Structure formats: structure tokens, C-alpha cells
């Protein structure tokens, strides 16, 4: 009996919470082009520049433009980055109405100052429940050549991936099919959609495209490494703007790490395939990564690696955020990893000394792009 009463009470509260936004939005609101309508986070004003920021024609350095590096670009022909498209995507990225209870947005867990990762090990979703993997960095997703996303690459192209967190019952908990109906009452969106797509129609597909354009526009290319590389003949040369330790770290990185993390070119610090780095040794109980999706036993324990750009700020590290410092990450690689049956053959004991580890950390920190981390065009437009 008590249990039934408790259930009814809880149900009543849930119903009230679910109905409250609908009731609220049906109330007449003061009209304002700049004020968010009722269902948005209260009191937030959307501020966009008169002319859109430049997302589509950034002046990339030469090492981004050499043929192999260019080949990493996964931008599809049918959804190129446009300034208006990315602007719309930016608004959507920070709009909490993409969550079931209007409390979290993509930007809640992918924080610009932290290179679009969550500074916490796990993220809190719309109901306060924790995810079980660290939020991946969104930096330079444009240059992941396989065009597959998430730690286990279960997300297809970016257009397919961007709405998966929206519908995830822990993360944002909203059926993406309802998004057009949720956004349509907001007088600003039809205009944003018109500018981006030529007419004001709001569709799930366009929402995904706009988000994908914005995410692809997040290109970091102005780090200390990039400045040094631009002034050198190749990445192997000592950079004039680097300290001795940083140059030493770069040399060590190129010799020991680049086979996976800077493959075949000198701009993109990404891996071109998933790998098992021996984080765990038990294929039965650890997170199975790609293998949990494909059920291919040889893929158990394989994970995607995010770009190393801005890695100083993407702590904690690995799919489960188990390492809180870069030194700990390097120690893991130095050990050769644990003896998992699918451990990558490239994972050999490196026996890094402390000075080698410090030099590698110094180099990795040169991948920091302060301008990217503070660029207003990637920031939250809601005030």
C-alpha cells in the first residue's frame, strides 16, 4: 500500500514536471527578438554578431594543405561548412532545449576552455546520472579520416553522430524527432534556418547538418607547434620558437609516438584506426570498446583516440578518464601496457626515463592553441 502511494506520488510529480513546460509556454510572453522564449533556460539572451563569424574560410597553415594532410578531411560534399550553417550549429550546440528537461546542452559536457571535453571524469546527464566514459574532445573532428566517431566508432559520419547524445537516455534524453516542434516556436530559429539552408523549415536533418558544420568548424591550428612548423622545413627540424626541452620532446615524439599519433603528415595528431593500447588485460570484464559494438573478438578493447591538439587541457585521459596527468599517460605507454590478448603490436615497452617523459610532456603542451580555446565564435552565444 505504501509502495503504491509512493509510486503514485512520484508519478504525479513526474507528470507535473513534464507538463509544466507545455503549460508555461502556452502563456503569453513578452515579445522580444533577443529574449529566449519560455522553454529555454530562463533569462538567457541570444547574442550573435551582425555578420556571421568566419567558419568556412580559415587561413590554414601550409602543413595542413599538403596532400596527405588534406586527405584527412572528412567534410562531405553535401554538407560543407558555411558561416550561417555553423552559426546555426553553434546556437543549437549551446541550446539546452536539446535535452528532455531543458537543463543540458552539448556545451554542458563539451567545454570550450577544456578543448571541448568535460573536465570531470564522467559527465552528468539531464537527470544527474553519470555517463561511464569521458566526454571526448571535439577538436579537429574534421580531420578524422575514417569519419567515424565516439570512443568505439559506433557513430557513423558526423551528421549521424551529433544527435546520438541527444537521444541517449543518460545524456540528454530527448527524441530527436521532437526537436523541430520544440524549436519552431522560437522566433529566432526560422530565420537562422533560412540563412543556413535557404528556407525557414526546421527539420531533424537540418539540425544534424548544422551541428555537424559547427563541430567540423572547430579547427585548432594556431598552437606553438604550428607556429614553429610554419617556420621550419619539416617537423623533424628544431623549431626556432621551441625551448631545448620542447625540441627534444618533439624529436622523441616523432621517433616513438608519431607512428600512431602523427601518421604520414605533420598537421593532424590523430590516429587513423582504433587500437588496443593495453589499458586492461581482461577481455571479459573491461569496457570492450569497438568489440562491444561489432562483436568481433579481435576488436575487444580497441578504442579511438581523439586528436592530441590541446591535450594539456583535455584531462582526464583515456576513454574512462583513468589518467589525470600527461605524465601518467606517458608512463602507461612506457610500460608497454597490460597484457591484453588484443594489445596492439606497436605497444612495446618504451622504458622512458623521467627526463624523456618530461620532454614529451613539454612537447605535448606546445599543441595548446590558446586562441582556439578562447575564440568567441565557438563560445556560448546565450547570455
Report the interface residues with other proteins, using CB under 8 A. Answer: 68, 71, 74, 132, 145-148, 152-156, 160, 168-170, 238, 244, 247-248, 251-252, 255-256, 258-260, 263-264, 272-275, 281, 283-285, 288, 290-300, 302, 336, 339-343, 345-346, 348-353, 355-356
Least distance in angstroms from the C-beta of 126 to other proteins: 14
DSSP 8-state code for residue 2: H
What is the distance between the alpha carbons of residues 354 and 351, in angstroms, rounded to a whole number? Answer: 10
Least distance in angstroms from the C-beta of 205 to other proteins: 16
- Beta carbons within 8 Å of 197's beta carbon, 6+ residues apart: 85, 206, 209
- Name the residue nearer to other proteins (CB basis): 25 or 74: 74
- Name the residue nearer to other proteins (CB basis): 107 or 291: 291
Least distance in angstroms from the C-beta of 206 to other proteins: 20
Q: At what angle do helices 188-197 and 204-217 cross, to 10 degrees?
A: 70
Least distance in angstroms from the C-beta of 276 to other proteins: 10
- Name the residue nearer to other proteins (CB basis): 120 or 335: 335
- Name the residue nearer to other proteins (CB basis): 84 or 250: 250
Q: Is the dihedral of CA 236, 352, 326, 69 positive or negative?
A: positive
Least distance in angstroms from the C-beta of 264 to other proteins: 5
- Name the residue nearer to other proteins (CB basis): 129 or 195: 129
Report the greatest alpha carbon distance in the chain: 79
Nearest to 117 by CA among 317, 314, 305, 375: 314
Least distance in angstroms from the C-beta of 157 to other proteins: 8
- Name the residue nearer to other proteins (CB basis): 95 or 246: 246
- Helix segments in the chain, DSSP class H: 2-26, 62-65, 67-70, 83-93, 106-109, 158-161, 164-167, 179-183, 188-197, 204-217, 224-230, 244-256, 258-261, 290-294, 326-335, 354-365, 370-374
What does each C-alpha distance from 336 to 52, 155, 251, 302 come to in angstroms? 48, 29, 20, 15
- Beta carbons within 8 Å of 345's beta carbon, 6+ residues apart: none
Q: Report the phi/psi class of residue 356: left, alpha or beta, with left for phi > 0 and alpha for psi in -120 to 50.
A: alpha
- Name the residue nearer to other proteins (CB basis): 25 or 294: 294
Least distance in angstroms from the C-beta of 144 to other proteins: 9
Amino acid at each position: 500500500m505504501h509502495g503504491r502511494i509512493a509510486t503514485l506520488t512520484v508519478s504525479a510529480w513526474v507528470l507535473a514536471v513534464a507538463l509544466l513546460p507545455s503549460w508555461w509556454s502556452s502563456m503569453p510572453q513578452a515579445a522580444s527578438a533577443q529574449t529566449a522564449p519560455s522553454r529555454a533556460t530562463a533569462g538567457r539572451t541570444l547574442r550573435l554578431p551582425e555578420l556571421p563569424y568566419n567558419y568556412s574560410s580559415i587561413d590554414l597553415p601550409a602543413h595542413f594543405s599538403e596532400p596527405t594532410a588534406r586527405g584527412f578531411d572528412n567534410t562531405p560534399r553535401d554538407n560543407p561548412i558555411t558561416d550561417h550553417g555553423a552559426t546555426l550549429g553553434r546556437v543549437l550546440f549551446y541550446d539546452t532545449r536539446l535535452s528532455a528537461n531543458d537543463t543540458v546542452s552539448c556545451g554542458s559536457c563539451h567545454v570550450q576552455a577544456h578543448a571541448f571535453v568535460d573536465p570531470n571524469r564522467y559527465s552528468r546527464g539531464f537527470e544527474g546520472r553519470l555517463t561511464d566514459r569521458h566526454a571526448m574532445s571535439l577538436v579537429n573532428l574534421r580531420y578524422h579520416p575514417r569519419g567515424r566517431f565516439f570512443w568505439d566508432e559506433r557513430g557513423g559520419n558526423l551528421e549521424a553522430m551529433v544527435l546520438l547524445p541527444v537521444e541517449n537516455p543518460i545524456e540528454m534524453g530527448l527524441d530527436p524527432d521532437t526537436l523541430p516542434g520544440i524549436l519552431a516556436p522560437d522566433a529566432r530559429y526560422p530565420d537562422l534556418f533560412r540563412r543556413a539552408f535557404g528556407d525557414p523549415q526546421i527539420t531533424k536533418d537540418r539540425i544534424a547538418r548544422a551541428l555537424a558544420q559547427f563541430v567540423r568548424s572547430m579547427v585548432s591550428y594556431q598552437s606553438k607547434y604550428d607556429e614553429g612548423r610554419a617556420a621550419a622545413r619539416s617537423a623533424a627540424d628544431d623549431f626556432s620558437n621551441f625551448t631545448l626541452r620542447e625540441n627534444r620532446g618533439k624529436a622523441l615524439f616523432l621517433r616513438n609516438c608519431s607512428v600512431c599519433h602523427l601518421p604520414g603528415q605533420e598537421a593532424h595528431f590523430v590516429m587513423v584506426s582504433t587500437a588496443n593500447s593495453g589499458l586492461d588485460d581482461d577481455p571479459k570484464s573491461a569496457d570492450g570498446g569497438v568489440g562491444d559494438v561489432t562483436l568481433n573478438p579481435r576488436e575487444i578493447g580497441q578504442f579511438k583516440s581523439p586528436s592530441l591538439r590541446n591535450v594539456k587541457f583535455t584531462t582526464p585521459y583515456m576513454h574512462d578518464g583513468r589518467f589525470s596527468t600527461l605524465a601518467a599517460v606517458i608512463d602507461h605507454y612506457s610500460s608497454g601496457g597490460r597484457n591484453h590478448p588484443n594489445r596492439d603490436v606497436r605497444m612495446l615497452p618504451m622504458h622512458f626515463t623521467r627526463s624523456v617523459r618530461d620532454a614529451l610532456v613539454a612537447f605535448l603542451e606546445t599543441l595548446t592553441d590558446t586562441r582556439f580555446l578562447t575564440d568567441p565564435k565557438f563560445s556560448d552565444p546565450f547570455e
